[in-house]
Structure 1
Amino acid sequence: MDFTECYQDTCSTVALAARRGDSRRVSKLIKKGYSVDVKDNRGWTALHEAAASGSSECVRFLLGAAVTCEDYVNSLTHNSETPLYFAAKNGHLRAVNRLIKGGGDIKKMSNDLSSPLFAAVDGGHKEVVQLLVSKGAEVNGAHSTSGWSCLHQAVYKGHTEIVKFLVSICSLEAVDDYGITPLFVAAQYGRHHCLEVLVNAGANVNCQANDLATPLLIAAQEGHLSCVELLLARKADPNLYCNEDQWQLPIHAAAQFARVSILEKLISVTGRDCDQGEGKVSPIYLSVLGGQADSLRPLLREGYSPDAQNCRQFGYYCPLDMALWCNSWNLDGECHQSREIAQVLLAAGAHVSLATYVLALQGHVPEHLPLILEHAGLPAGEELWALVQAALDELPSAPFWLPLLLKAGLDPSLLLKHKMLEEAESRVLNFLLEFINWKSLPSTMLHILSRRRAEGTWTPHGHFESVPALTHLCRLAVRAAVGSDALSKPSFVQQLPIPTLLQDYLQFNDISSAYTYTAA
């Protein structure tokens, strides 16, 4: 039920006059014997109406007509609000003063634990606040269900003049149920002027809430640049860890929420042990987690490692793994920048682990393998042999990965294994054979192909019956001389002393363009 509505059929005649501030009519009704203590459906009397409307004259008449003034002046609504509460809430100084003189209880709390002083602070009524305090109102008590003091509320509402008054009489370090001080509230909601008043009054800039969050961290998270600048200027510690897992710093919050201007300020004052330190978490991870390429760039530019440390907290081996697989589990756009982030990391030299290559071979997220190969190319040495073996173990996905690996410069002879010849489907096997001299295969391999053809599990291209063309044999000879990796690079091929028309042919583009493979 909305008790702010006016139900005139339940409101007394005297109360209606008091609501309008019609003191002459109130006086006449009282003289005629009308009752002043009839309550409406909200529990309001005529005195509540007079106090809420700010008619001090109506208040005077009503208090004079009450049988027991002290009881009447402190009568409660259904929500335990007194007339003084409404007068203070609405900033009616004269009415407040008259109600106090009439015995109004300045310490009475409503059902939601709000006092007249708290209500006046909330409304920004400085003169009423000063009057209530001068009459003995409690300034340091908890005045809300969350345990906020009046100073918390004044800061939250941004009532700077009231904050200036309260800091000299309130506890600056009062905490609510979450361990949050008024200064923390100022940092959280960007109340720069209130924050300045509190800092100048001596409030602790390095206070920590129950979860160990600091004002600097919350200001960085919420993007309040001027508050961050003020806190840093007043010696707020950017290296004070801010949660029980002992890794989150203000720089992490700035990175996760792309507060780039704040991030740039924090980079220069934050210790680098969080970058690759054991048991820590690099802010690089938070940029990736938040899908924030804009905050990733300044971190990398200032020397943060694109590889960071193994992050057990997030379950990823490195930031690149997080970026690559982010969009596979989040389809709502939260990680919409994952491709761009992966590109930034790869361009910065992020190492691609064998495990990442292997996952990319499976083609669950098709754009990953081309992206990795474009920036990092193929691994070398033992890792390359391991990648080939992993590829052979993923033969069902060969229609997806085979063209990509060959285009990246993988020597096709590395894939000429019995497993490939025995198990690959026709289109995969035919595609691979186009990159070699199919007439010069060892007899054991030719035997496998002959058997599969007889069994009907392989249907070769018709030209495999013939000797390869001389031009094909020539490009195979060039590849043998310079290597598959070199031949895969257009920049290298363009420097060769051959006609431009032959450059694509030398890179086997005629074969690649004739076949389109997608993951099954």
Structure 2
Amino acid sequence: MIEAYPDLVNKCSLTNQTALLLAAKQEDLPCVEFLLEHGADADISNKDGETPLFVACENPNRDIVYLLLRHGVQVNRCSTQGVSALHEACRHGQLEICKMLLDAGAHLEAKNIYGITPFFTAAQHGQVDVLQHLVKRGADINKQALDGASPLFEACKNGHAPAVEMLLAWKATANRSLTSGLLPLHMAVQNDHIEIVKMLIPVTNRLRIQNCGISPLHIAADKDRDDIMELLIQSGFDVNAILSEGQSKIYEDQRTTALYFSVFNGNLEATEMLLEAGANPSLDVFNPLLIAVRLGWIEMASLLLKYGADVNAQISTQPSTFPSAIYLNIESLPMLKLLLDYGCDAWPCFDCQYGQNPHPAVPSRRFTGVMRCNRDSPPMRLIQFCEVFSNPGLCRLHGPIMSLLLDYVGHVKFCSRLLEVLEACSKWAEIKLKAAPPRPLMHLCRLRIRHQLGVQRLQMLHTLPLPVQLVRFLCHDITCSLI
């Protein structure tokens, strides 16, 4: 064909591919050699700007690269993405090809459209031998891409521990961040590369972490990286670090602490780890305890209460006249008792602003349980306990709920709506008798002692130097006696 039609040697396909480019892609050395000897132009690129030299590095073939370079190809031609043949050789870890390209004049600091150099590419793919050679040639080990990523950042992100170790030995800085503020340590935590995390902790500046607005602990908690979380805590990272406003606004609930992430994920082990290290359970817009209560996680709620979570916390976006924790999961009697045992104030449940007077209709808009924070929305009206209690869906639990609440209050009066609900079912008549004055003196004494102890001491009731019988009595164990 070449003898009959010599001009075909540089004929291009619809995608601008020459026979030489296709032969290089197929690693067909004899064909490449034949075409070059018959006048094939080695610098014609396809529609993506890829030359035969580029594809010979993309599909690594040392002999074809050598042959093309010997015929004087332009070594620094780049694809439409700005990727050079040297980039491709580095990506595949082809040390010999890299040497040939550099000796032929390949630009060591060539950048693609994202600002990525060949050294960056080698680090990105963990090509240690290539990195060593490029450094000897004078490559900039800290050259950042357009998004701020450094070679070290990419090696950390992709889990190339040997490359990370080598880069750190060459004094590559661990404190250059993405434009988003994330450091190599953040990315190693996110991708669960614990060995790399161990290398980065000593060389990462804590002030830089503070300024970026997100702690590695936040990421460890978000991704359930418990082993890494333990390592970070042991290394002295602040368990009460707060997300910056910009980072917090990413989430509808505007969470701010690592503890919130762990509670939201239902990670009991991580939550306990953070609490034991001194995490404050009352720093977020929405108290993490309310998440546990809403989802019915008794063990999680108990753990948070043990470490001082505010049992009387309110939901700012849906305030009520009584503790929000009661509101969120009133249908769970075990959860309700847990809250009351830890000092949840039941008295406001009976403090209705309408009293014995007629009540307005219950608003049709009800809380959905989704915690979204919108600081610009107008404050909502306070929800009354009787509005929640009168929900027809709770009819079978009206008696048990009310009976339990009465165990934690003294003399109270039912408002007209509560009376209406209780009188609607004859079997709840005993509840009215239980609330009738006078309440038993022993019961009032118990309430008085619990009030004197206060919520914080109630959380530590089992650790106080008190007789076992008295502790059981104060914990509302109805089977106990002080005799």
TM-score normalised over the length of structure 2: 0.74
- Counterpart amino acid of residue 228 in structure 1: V
Does the alignment pair 1:164 with 2:113? no
User: Are residues 473 and 195 of structure 1, via their aligned partners in 2, closer, same or farther at CA, if it must alter by over 3 Å?
Assistant: same
Q: 1: CA distance between counterparts of 2:288 and 2:26? A: 68
**1:195 Cα shift?**
1.9
Does the alignment pair 1:430 with 2:399? no
Does the alignment pair 1:312 with 2:312? no
My pick for the range that moved more, 357-366 or 190-199, is 357-366
Q: 1: CA distance between counterparts of 2:54 and 2:260? A: 48
Alignment equivalent of 2:81, drawn from 146, 153, 156? 146
Which runs of 5 or more residues in structure 1 are unaligned?
Answer: 1-35, 37-62, 328-335, 513-520
Look up the match of 1:22.
Answer: none
Q: 2: CA distance between counterparts of 1:90 and 1:384? A: 69
Helix, strand or coil at the partner of 1:187: helix
Look up the match of 1:292.
Answer: 225
TM-score normalised over the length of structure 1: 0.69
Give the % identical residues: 29
Q: 1: CA distance between counterparts of 2:336 and 2:140? A: 62
Look up the match of 2:178.
Answer: 242
Contact 1:180 1:209 in 2 (8 A): yes
Look up the match of 1:449.
Answer: 414
User: Are residues 163 and 385 of structure 1, via their aligned partners in 2, closer, same or farther at CA, if it must alter by over 3 Å?
Assistant: closer
Q: 2: CA distance between counterparts of 1:365 and 1:179? A: 47
Helix, strand or coil at the partner of 2:63: helix
Alignment equivalent of 1:103, drawn from 32, 36, 39? 39
**1:95 Cα shift?**
4.1
Helix, strand or coil at the partner of 2:285: helix
User: Are residues 92 and 341 of structure 1, via their aligned partners in 2, closer, same or farther at CA, if it must alter by over 3 Å?
Assistant: same
User: Are residues 492 and 89 of structure 1, via their aligned partners in 2, closer, same or farther at CA, if it must alter by over 3 Å?
Assistant: closer
**1:130 Cα shift?**
1.6
Q: Which has the larger radius of gyration?
A: 1
Look up the match of 1:283.
Answer: 216
Look up the match of 2:274.
Answer: 345
**1:472 Cα shift?**
5.0
Q: 1:193-245 CA deviation, whole Å, 9 max, x = no partner?
A: 222222222111111112121111111111111111111111211111221x4
Helix, strand or coil at the partner of 2:322: helix
- Counterpart amino acid of residue 466 in structure 2: L
Query: How many residues in Structure 1 have an aligned counterpart in Structure 2?
Result: 421
Q: 2: CA distance between counterparts of 1:463 and 1:347? A: 41
Helix, strand or coil at the partner of 2:275: helix
Alignment equivalent of 2:304, drawn from 369, 373, 377? 373
Q: 2: CA distance between counterparts of 1:456 and 1:282? A: 50
Q: 1: CA distance between counterparts of 2:274 and 2:233? A: 8
Q: 2: CA distance between counterparts of 1:167 and 1:205? A: 17
RMSD: 3.7
Contact 2:289 2:304 in 1 (8 A): no
Look up the match of 2:139.
Answer: 203
Alignment equivalent of 2:285, drawn from 345, 350, 355? 355
Which runs of 5 or more residues in structure 2 are unaligned?
Answer: 357-384, 390-397
Instruction: Using CA pairs under 8 Å that are at least 6 residues apart, name the structure with larger relative contact order, 1 or 2.
Output: 2
- Counterpart amino acid of residue 508 in structure 1: H
User: Are residues 450 and 78 of structure 1, via their aligned partners in 2, closer, same or farther at CA, if it must alter by over 3 Å?
Assistant: closer
User: Are residues 398 and 430 of structure 1, via their aligned partners in 2, closer, same or farther at CA, if it must alter by over 3 Å?
Assistant: farther
Does the alignment pair 1:323 with 2:261? yes
Q: 2: CA distance between counterparts of 1:221 and 1:337? A: 26
**1:374 Cα shift?**
3.5
**1:155 Cα shift?**
1.4
Q: 2: CA distance between counterparts of 1:421 and 1:151? A: 82
Look up the match of 1:257.
Answer: 191
